[in-house]
């Protein structure tokens, strides 16, 4: 098992992962990302997110897409995990855990105040997995969203 940062050449693979997680979450119809948009957002001059990829030998089997936010209470940046996905046939082999632990270690090394993510409330296997790693559900918070039109 290897975890590597994504490179610009991985852009088509990243889009494939995004579509796979969207399909799993029954939200494929909401994917607007294109290779061009992802390339600019992840590797362009003003890149604002990063990706790491888990490999089984040389085969990509999972990914995590993350970015940094800021906690006013902590007074420090935080690492926000936007997506974590491992192909179904590779689940239960430690790839998801390795991706999360890799990011947790990175967050600690970068003096982040916290690491956060959200999970769909029906995804009990993911919720159980996160609890097994010591993550705490923030049940008293409600997620709000304003969706901006494309420019």
The structure tokens 């085969």 sit at 59
Looking at 66, 87, 95, 130, which residue is catalytic? 130
Calpha distance 138→23 (Å, rounded): 26
Question: Does 130 participate in catalysis according to the annotation?
Answer: yes
Token couple for 85: 């996905």
Neighbours of 149 (CB within 10 A): 4
Calpha distance 46→110 (Å, rounded): 20
Q: Is 42 within 8 Å of 51 (Cβ atoms)?
A: yes
Q: Which residues are marked as active site?
A: 130
């Amino acid at each position: 098992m290897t975890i590597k940062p994504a490179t610009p050449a991985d852009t088509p693979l990243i889009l494939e992962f995004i579509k796979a997680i969207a399909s799993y979450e029954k939200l494929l119809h909401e994917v607007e990302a294109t290779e061009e948009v992802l390339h600019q957002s992840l590797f362009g001059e003003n890149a604002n997110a990063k990706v790491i990829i888990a490999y089984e030998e040389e085969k990509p089997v999972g990914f995590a897409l993350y970015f940094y936010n800021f906690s006013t209470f902590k007074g420090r940046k935080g690492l926000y995990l936007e997506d974590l996905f491992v192909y179904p046939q590779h689940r239960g082999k430690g790839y998801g855990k390795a991706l999360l632990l890799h990011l947790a270690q990175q967050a600690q090394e970068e003096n982040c105040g916290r690491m956060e993510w959200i999970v769909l409330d029906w995804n009990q296997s993911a919720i159980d997995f996160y609890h097994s790693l010591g993550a705490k559900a923030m049940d008293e918070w409600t997620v709000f969203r304003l969706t901006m039109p494309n420019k």
